[in-house]
Amino acid sequence: MAVSVRTLDDGAWISVNDSRAVGVSQIWPIARHDFCECEIAHLLLEAFYDVGVDEHRIVAGVVGQCIDCGTEGSIDTLPVGRIIDGDFYAYDPGQVQSLLEPVEDPDTGTHRLSGRF
């Protein structure tokens, strides 16, 4: 079953199947990351700049700030929910997510987080 995902309201929301599903201004605890020096980054999401489907997960490119150390930056693929039998189930922002180690782009030499956990 096809699932429609997009950002709305200048990156304030992720829409799944034409319904607002995930919004910014929530704090997401992120472990195993390279966002900042904190063991667990408590990331205050400020905007979504991209959204897509990675296997059965909805992943978003996000801009945010760690509320513990103040670091500002982005994560290319933050898992925000999953699709089961065509239905969307959002992840609880208050639960710690673990991202894999950064993946190097062989063409540019830059790193990004894989978004898989």
Output the pLDDT for position 104. 63
Inter-CA distances, 4 with 14, 29, 82, 86, 97, Å = 10, 27, 13, 10, 24
pLDDT tens digits for range 67-88:
999 999 999 889 999 999 888 9
Kindly state the percentage of the chain with pLDDT values over 90.
38
pLDDT tens digits for range 27-41:
999 887 888 999 999
Query: In sequence order, what DSSP letters do the residues of 47-81 get, joined into one string?
Result: EEEEEEEETTEEEEEEEEEETTT--EEEEEEEEEE
Integer Cα distance of 97 and 6 in angstroms:
22
Integer Cα distance of 75 and 28 in angstroms:
12
Q: From 89, 7, 83, select the one nearest 45 (Cα to Cα).
A: 7
Tokens found for residue 113 = 């987080």
pTM of the model: 0.76
Collapse the DSSP code of 55 into the 3-class scheme (helix H, G, I; strand E, B; otherwise coil) and give the result: coil
Output the pLDDT for position 45. 93
Output the pLDDT for position 116. 36
Tokens found for residue 47 = 């905007």
